[in-house]
Structure 1
Amino acid sequence: MIGLTVSPEVALADEPVKIQAWGLRPQELITLRAWLKDEKGEIFYSRAFYMTDEEGKVDLEHTPATGGDFQGVHPMGLFWALKPVTPFLRLLKRDVIGSPFYVHLELYRHLEITPSPKDIPTIIKVVQRWYASPRVQRVQIREGRVRGTLFLPPGEGPFPGVIDIPGRIHGLIEFKSSLLASRGFASLALAYFAYEDLPSQLENIDLKYFEEAVQWLSNHPKVSGAGVGIISFSKGVEPALAMGVYLPQVAATICVNGTNAINGEALSYGDIIFPAIPYQAERILTTDRGTILVYELMGDPRKPEYHNSIIPVERARGPILFLVGENDQVYNSLFFAKEVLARAHKYGKQDVYLRSYPGAGHLLEPPGLPHCSVSRVHLLPLPLNFGGELVSHCRAQESCWKEILDFLRKNIPCSRQNKL
């Protein structure tokens, strides 16, 4: 009898799974294929070839893939390598509470090409990948100007509070906050443009809006009032760093692949104004693949005329952690992070940290999510290069997520919290 085991079959999206096959012939070549359908009906798939051992078994924790979308021992490789049938799509979970992604794992015998609709798998397992644990609460927020969604862990609390600030993406992105709530944080997924009645385009950054969000979260009855953490990504790093500097309720700041200065759109906080370093649009490149590279879009903050655009991180109350993909093709993130580190040390601030990941690209997501090196984005005429090498990037996501959780737990004061 041929068997295929996936354990656990129901899990959070950031949890690893164990995949094993047995009952096959010794030294038999098999194909394992994974696929899912996203919320828009688009198909994402991956495949890898494996040779069974002398007992006719395959264990992805020990058996190397001999070909397909990756090679070597990678227990989560089939999840890492999921790619769209329609080119240049990014896998994004929008409904984080109501439904999981159903990942179909299929075993084929003697199949070295991509399975066609006529091919019948020997055995199938369906895995549920959820973005929130069962008792996490989702609360839509419309408080004053603040727009977003609050995710609360089960229990009475109080919980450490976190605000999740995304990059330059339209709409509200919730999957990171829902996973953070599943790990014990009261997490506010904050929108700051192109959502409901917020401005449709990002024209300037008003730090008062973010201050209102911090104050609201700090005063929530289920949130520990001793300070909140900020986790930011890409364009969201700019307001996040300014929050750490000017808002005393911010206890810790995490910056994933961002800059050390204000770029493109000015940032203001009352009478304090950070002029924007102009984007260098003439430096945008089109590749032979028909994709766009914006790696050199940002101006050099070291130039004297841009001095007033640099965020004075040395004034931040709490620690700052920069997480950087060294193969980021959107920002020169490693350079910007090193500039932050050098400035902090120059002024005597010692609690600024840098973790960089060779081979990782721009889209550092929670672990288990597939690598996306290029995809279409709003307003750009061609797909955008994000960078990253499959295995290096996805290993970095595993390390990066652990760093995020550990840093937040260590640095956000909380008298009591549920441990999930």
Structure 2
Amino acid sequence: MVEVTVTPRSSLADRPVRLKVRGLSPSQLVTLRVSLTDERGHRFQSQTFFRADGAGEVDPGLHAALGGSYTGVWPMGPFWFLQPDTLFQRLLKRDVTGSPFLFHLEVFDGLVLATTSPQAQPLASCEAERWFVGPGVQRVPVREGRVRGALFLPPGPGPFPGVIDLFGGAGGLIEFRAGLLASRGFAVLALAFFAYDDLPRNLLQIDLEYFEEAANLLLRHPKVRGPGLGVVGVSKGAEVALAMASFLPQVVATVWINGTAFIHGTPLTYGALHIPAIPYHSERLLFTEMGALDNSAVFGDPRDPAYGASAIPVEKVRGKVLFIVGEADRNFNSKLFAQLAMERLPEGSGRVLSYPGAGHLIEPPCSPLCSISSIRASPYSVLWGGEAQPHAKAQEHSWQEIISFLELHLGAVATTKL
């Protein structure tokens, strides 16, 4: 009897699992399909072709995929190379505590595509759960003073090292990375800064006092271990994270993912301080053949002396900064910005991890490449860039580096297992 299994069947979304098919005929050609439907009803799936070994088994960690969604030996390939059935959709877990992503796995005889053989009957099937919070992790809504977000606390008395988690120009509150970090033993504040609750609908300026208030709030929590904290930010959130590291002594470990080293689009204020933004040149907008917006040329060259006043004063950084760069990023020239920041950082304060072929949205290794998607702030879908296989490698490697970096500079943590 043919059987397909995932071990463990229930796991954290950033942890590897073992996928195996048994009971096939030796050298039998099969299609392995993995699919899920997200909370908005969008379906994502991978379809990959394998030939069974002499024992009638298929193991993606040992056997090369012959084609389909990917090729080669990728233990997590059927999960990492999901693609949306509808163009320009990003796989994003929104309710991280209420339910897992539920994956449906099916094995078919021969080469079977959903588009050409929708009624094909599988030889075997199973389901697997991928969670974004570990057992005992607590989510606490935050609405104190001006600060809005959600605090994720690991189980146990603590105290735990504190981290602020920031996303970018889409606004709102995105929590999946915070849930995974909390499952690694960090107390994590997923922080919104516009387009959420009673915060401004549009980002008109970066008020650093808001982020200072959030840092102090987190450090006052009885389960948070001070005196310093970490910040993780991507895109606009990376820009904010670097500004926090430059001005706020509370920030001792900063993870910057595909951002800038200059203030862009919206100015930064901090009390009486005002840092002007490099302006947005809408006439430089480009469109791809698929109709997606290419933002890669909309800002001026940061090396132009005219924009010197817009530089984030990273020479004031007192902690450590880890720069994560996708060299195929089509939103910012992230590699250039990381290099410019490194030139001005205090010696020994920064480190760059640069990944050829990786795009803008470098996330934990539970998200397939999203090279184009729609976002709240744009009437058009946006080009993020990246190639599937190098992007997957970048996500796997950088996530472990991020965890190690935070542990090194914030102190050891207790790991939650699922």
* Bin of the TM-score, shorter chain as denominator length: over 0.9
| Equivalent residue number for residue 5 of structure 1 | 5
Contact persistence 1:81–1:371 (CA under 8 A): yes
Which residue identity is paired with 1:46? S
Contact persistence 1:107–1:122 (CA under 8 A): yes
User: What SS does the corresponding residue of 1:218 show, helix, strand or coil?
Assistant: helix
Shift of 1:413: 4.5
Which residue identity is paired with 2:48? A
| Equivalent residue number for residue 171 of structure 1 | 172
Which residue identity is paired with 1:253? T
| Equivalent residue number for residue 114 of structure 1 | 114
User: What SS does the corresponding residue of 1:97 show, helix, strand or coil?
Assistant: coil
Spell out the pairing of 1:105-254 with structure 2 (5 A cutoff).
105-114=105-114, 116-254=117-255
Which residue identity is paired with 2:59? D
Contact persistence 1:157–1:418 (CA under 8 A): no
Contact persistence 2:96–2:133 (CA under 8 A): yes
CA deviations 1:380-409 (Å, max 9, x no partner) are 232211111111101110111011100000
Shift of 1:242: 1.4
| Equivalent residue number for residue 335 of structure 1 | 336
RMSD, aligned CA? 1.2
Which deviates more, 211-220 or 380-389?
380-389
| Equivalent residue number for residue 63 of structure 1 | 63
Contact persistence 1:16–1:368 (CA under 8 A): no
CA 1:396–1:365 in 2, change beyond 3 Å: closer, same or farther? same
Contact persistence 2:10–2:131 (CA under 8 A): yes
Which residue identity is paired with 1:77? G
Contact persistence 2:97–2:139 (CA under 8 A): yes
- Percentage identity across aligned positions? 51
- Aligned mates of 2:168, 2:206 — CA distance in 1: 13
| Equivalent residue number for residue 275 of structure 2 | 274
Which residue identity is paired with 2:362? L
Contact persistence 1:359–1:392 (CA under 8 A): yes
- Aligned mates of 1:235, 1:364 — CA distance in 2: 13
| Equivalent residue number for residue 80 of structure 1 | 80
| Equivalent residue number for residue 386 of structure 1 | 384
User: What SS does the corresponding residue of 1:176 show, helix, strand or coil?
Assistant: helix
CA deviations 1:149-177 (Å, max 9, x no partner) are 00000000000000001111131100000
User: What SS does the corresponding residue of 2:134 show, helix, strand or coil?
Assistant: coil
Contact persistence 1:151–1:181 (CA under 8 A): yes
Shift of 1:38: 0.5
Contact persistence 1:228–1:250 (CA under 8 A): yes
CA deviations 1:99-131 (Å, max 9, x no partner) are 001000100001343364411111111000000
Contact persistence 1:224–1:413 (CA under 8 A): no
CA deviations 1:250-286 (Å, max 9, x no partner) are 1111100000000000001011110011012222111
- Aligned mates of 1:215, 1:413 — CA distance in 2: 19
User: What SS does the corresponding residue of 2:174 show, helix, strand or coil?
Assistant: coil
Which residue identity is paired with 1:240? A
| Equivalent residue number for residue 398 of structure 2 | 400
User: What SS does the corresponding residue of 1:229 show, helix, strand or coil?
Assistant: strand
Which deviates more, 154-163 or 22-31?
22-31
Contact persistence 1:29–1:110 (CA under 8 A): yes
Shift of 1:4: 1.4
- Figure out how many residues of one structure are paired with residues of the other and give that number: 415
Shift of 1:304: 1.4
| Equivalent residue number for residue 256 of structure 1 | 257
CA deviations 1:312-342 (Å, max 9, x no partner) are 1111110111001011111110011011111
- Aligned mates of 1:238, 1:26 — CA distance in 2: 54
| Equivalent residue number for residue 317 of structure 1 | 318
User: What SS does the corresponding residue of 1:330 show, helix, strand or coil?
Assistant: coil
User: What SS does the corresponding residue of 1:58 show, helix, strand or coil?
Assistant: coil
Which residue identity is paired with 2:402? I
CA 1:419–1:90 in 2, change beyond 3 Å: closer, same or farther? closer
Task: Give 5+ residue unaligned stretches, structure 1.
Answer: none
